[in-house]
Structure 1
Amino acid sequence: MKIAILGLGYVGCTAAGCIASQGHHVVGIDVNLGKVETLNTGKSPVYEPGLDDLIAKARAEGRLHAVTEIGSALDDCDIAIVCVGTPSGVDGAHNMSFIVQVSRAIAASVRPDRKTPLTVVYRSTMRPGTTEQMILPIFRSVIGEDCEKLIELVYNPEFLREATAIEDYFHPPKIVLGTIDGAPSEKMVALHEGIEAPIFHVGIREAEITKFVDNTWHAVKVAFANEVGRVCQNLGISAKQVHEIFVSDTKLNISAYYTRPGGPFGGSCLPKDVRALQHIAADTGAQTHLVDSLLRSNDAHKHHQFLQVTKDLQPGARVLLVGLAFKADTDDLRESPAVDMARKLLDAGYALDIYDPQLRPESLVGQNLGYAYAILPSIDGLLVDKTTAEARDYGVVIATNRLIRDLALPGRRIVDVSAIA
């Protein structure tokens, strides 16, 4: 295939060298004359280990060149990959001026007699919704009613780390291909042929948000590690050894567990230990701002879920809450998010039933007993058995865990707050 790369920074130059090395013909396009001239001499405009060799070989074999203007460069291209910058604006949002400029330029260059659509791929990080709400309207306004016949829009985030970018290009953790309708893009599948990685064919907004989620998670990990490190240093503890212990746990700590969006955390361990670490950090002057935000974030999620389950509910409606303990197969109510949900529903005036077969008020003891009756003093009158739960008419059934599988509730509106689709 013939591929155009628009923007010859780190991402664009790496893509140009790697794609050309796969046997494709590549034209690099950048308004910076210095970058264009450097690439045309067989060198990379940016330093990245191994990239000079890829570019020199591609130039020598006639598979790579660069120009400063689009002109007719896209006429015989199969794919145009946009790699221009989206720097931070003064308000923290991305500055989209380069995206707008390059989109207009591409749209203006698309010939109306193209035999196949030009696949226009964006790799620049940008706000979810940008493709549908800004880029597509630009193409439609310039090209007109034949827009969808002449172009295919794809969002394909890159996962390159500087200094290991070539290795990352050919061995990525995943390949994400977002399209307007979520259907696979044949040209992009062909472009990634030979690269072994999980491929996700998704809607364009799911693809657009991927880099935000990934990079913010990396930032969270760094900040968390440094906060723990400060606490350790202030207490004379080896942060290195604590880290070795932490990362050795690939069952829970370094795994997919606890990263699935769903219910808030609760139970007898997480909330109290977070509070205790906050106290230790404050007492030693460690300033753990990330840790300090965890309980507030958890409370915000509890309220968010309450608003979600009640948004279409009539005042005074009867509600069934399935699962009151903090997880299934236990009767532990301590700091259970479901208890907070029950309290909020009662405070809002809803008629509440609770189904949790493991829960017997007469068996609650100690702190579990005190917590249950302090938050839900009417708990004895709220619990219903399986027959009642299945027979009554409810405005909504709220599932907090897998106990919902025990009930036959055909035709009921069920909201599973243990997972977010």
Structure 2
Amino acid sequence: MKVAILGLGYVGFTAACCIASEGHEVIGIDVNPNKVRDIMSGRSPIIEPRVDEMLRDGVAAGRIKADTALGSHLDGCDLAIVCVGTPSAADGAHNMGFIADVTQQIAAALSAERDRPLVVAYRSTFRPGTVEELVLPIFRAALGEAVEDRVEVVYNPEFLREGSAVDDYFQPPKIVIGTGDGQPCAVMNMLHANIDAPVFITGYREAEITKFVDNSWHAVKVAFANEVGRACLALGVSARQVHEVFVADTKLNISPYYMRPGGAFGGSCLPKDVRALQHIAADTGTNLPLINSLIRSNEAHKHRLFEYAVGGLEPGARILLAGLAFKVGTDDLRESPNVDLARKMLAAGFKLDIYDPGVDAAKLIGANLGYAYSQLPALKQLLVDKAHAEGTAYARVIATNATADTLELSGTVEVRNLGRLP
């Protein structure tokens, strides 16, 4: 197949590499010229295991190309996958500007000479009803009565985790396809032909709400575990032992994932989608007190972790923060609780060094770049290399993930692990 991917962020770029590795021809579209130039040169714009080799192979074989404008690239395409961002607006709703804009671009680029409809699969997360109330009206306005002959819209949420995105693409927990009539789509069946996973064919709205349900549940688990962890800290109880006992019950407690008392939830999905679900609930008059408490609980946990991290130290003490990205093995700083922690430490007057081998200030791009420097303007000066981290005397090392385990720290420096409370 020939596949166009609109938006080459984590989701879109990973999909491009994986789809091309199966022998399909991929054209990626992104407004960032630097990103497009890097991709065409075989340089990955993100840090993610396995994508570098897949990109080089795809470019060398002519299966991966990239451009900043859609132009006539849809000609001959069987499928267009939309992966543009839906960031939080001021009221917590998803900002749908990119979705509307790219939909208009696709409609304008569709050739009247097509002999079959172009399947347009949306993977961006947005509220239920968006396909029917925003996407389809845009296509109808542009294409008129010929809309069904020119385009077939499906909603196909992704379930990729940064740091294991390639494995998650080929081994997802499930495949969800939302269609207008709740029936399978032949092109999507071809796309997923080599993937062994449960497949759910639903209407648009059922598919659209999937990520809200999943990500809000993950957020619920993190917040619940961290509330237990805070209580344990206050009572002098071992949160580690409590966690061990709790997750041993796989019959009733379901799963250990996201349930370990430790770091606050963050990243580009969970906070954004919880806020959006809150907005949806308010907009529809639905009372969701647990969901409404998640962000507040998470913010309270961030502050408690700050207190735990610096407790007993006087302002002016030198601290090493080991791990800045929201997850080890990635450079994504968007809504990372560790960025908030660093900001709090600086505001409190501590001398801070940051060691994260996955973060290179010079390689940050797009929303990741904007968020990083809006929260930590001195990021480039704060980051230190491994030699500096190992050779400096610190009053305390704050470990947010396994990054600290890679260091050979000098002396008897105290290490406080925020990823796993004691």
Contact 2:216 2:291 in 1 (8 A): no
Q: What's the counterpart of residue 7 of structure 1? A: 7
What amino acid sits opposite 2:154 in the alignment? V
Deviation digits for residues 3-31 of structure 1 (CA, Å, limit 9, x no counterpart):
00000111110000000001100000111
Contact 2:40 2:66 in 1 (8 A): yes
Contact 1:36 1:67 in 2 (8 A): yes
C-alpha separation between the residues in 2 aligned to 1:292 and 1:37?
Answer: 42
Contact 2:86 2:125 in 1 (8 A): yes
Post-superposition shift, 1:46?
1.6
Correspondences of 1:267-282 after superposition (within 5 Å):
none
**Pairing 1:25–2:54 present:** no
Correspondences of 1:303-382 after superposition (within 5 Å):
none
Q: SS of the counterpart of 1:144? A: helix
Post-superposition shift, 1:49?
1.6
C-alpha separation between the residues in 1 aligned to 2:155 and 2:291?
Answer: 34
Task: Give the 3 Å change call, closer, same or farther, for CA 173–292 of structure 1 in structure 2.
Answer: closer
What amino acid sits opposite 1:154 in the alignment? V
Q: What's the counterpart of residue 46 of structure 2? A: 46
What amino acid sits opposite 2:62 in the alignment? G
Contact 1:224 1:291 in 2 (8 A): no
Q: What's the counterpart of residue 324 of structure 1? A: none
Post-superposition shift, 1:291?
11
C-alpha separation between the residues in 2 aligned to 1:39 and 1:20?
Answer: 13
Q: What's the counterpart of residue 176 of structure 2? A: 176
Q: What's the counterpart of residue 201 of structure 2? A: 201
Q: What's the counterpart of residue 187 of structure 2? A: 187
Task: Give the 3 Å change call, closer, same or farther, for CA 291–90 of structure 1 in structure 2.
Answer: closer
Q: What's the counterpart of residue 132 of structure 2? A: 132
Q: SS of the counterpart of 2:209? A: helix
Deviation digits for residues 283-318 of structure 1 (CA, Å, limit 9, x no counterpart):
xxxxxx969979xxxxxxxxxxxxxxxxxxxxxxxx
TM-score, normalising length: structure 1:
0.60
C-alpha separation between the residues in 1 aligned to 2:215 and 2:189?
Answer: 25
What amino acid sits opposite 2:80 in the alignment? A
Task: Give the 3 Å change call, closer, same or farther, for CA 70–291 of structure 1 in structure 2.
Answer: closer
Q: SS of the counterpart of 1:16? A: helix
Post-superposition shift, 1:246?
1.0
Q: SS of the counterpart of 1:48? A: coil
Q: What's the counterpart of residue 96 of structure 2? A: 96
C-alpha separation between the residues in 2 aligned to 1:47 and 1:241?
Answer: 34
Larger radius of gyration: 1
C-alpha separation between the residues in 1 aligned to 2:224 and 2:231?
Answer: 11
Alignment coverage as a number of residue pairs:
261
Contact 2:5 2:28 in 1 (8 A): yes
Q: Structure 1 stretch 242-251 or stretch 2-11: which is displaced more? A: 242-251
Correspondences of 1:400-411 after superposition (within 5 Å):
none
Contact 2:154 2:178 in 1 (8 A): yes
What amino acid sits opposite 2:88 in the alignment? S
Post-superposition shift, 1:239?
1.1
Q: SS of the counterpart of 1:232? A: helix
Q: What's the counterpart of residue 402 of structure 1? A: none
Over aligned residue pairs, what C-alpha RMSD do you find? 1.7
Identity of aligned residues (%): 63
Post-superposition shift, 1:242?
1.1
Contact 1:223 1:290 in 2 (8 A): no
Contact 2:48 2:165 in 1 (8 A): yes
Q: What's the counterpart of residue 250 of structure 1? A: 250
Q: What's the counterpart of residue 60 of structure 1? A: 60
- Structure 1 residue runs without a partner (length 5+): 256-288, 295-421
Q: SS of the counterpart of 2:145? A: coil
C-alpha separation between the residues in 2 aligned to 1:205 and 1:178?
Answer: 7
Q: What's the counterpart of residue 117 of structure 1? A: 117
What amino acid sits opposite 1:98 in the alignment? F
Q: SS of the counterpart of 2:81? A: strand
Q: SS of the counterpart of 2:120? A: strand
Relative contact order, higher structure (CA 8 A, sep 6+): 2
Post-superposition shift, 1:237?
1.5
Deviation digits for residues 249-274 of structure 1 (CA, Å, limit 9, x no counterpart):
1111116xxxxxxxxxxxxxxxxxxx
C-alpha separation between the residues in 1 aligned to 2:231 and 2:32?
Answer: 48
C-alpha separation between the residues in 2 aligned to 1:184 and 1:171?
Answer: 20
C-alpha separation between the residues in 2 aligned to 1:220 and 1:211?
Answer: 14
Post-superposition shift, 1:2?
0.3
Post-superposition shift, 1:235?
1.7
Q: What's the counterpart of residue 315 of structure 1? A: none
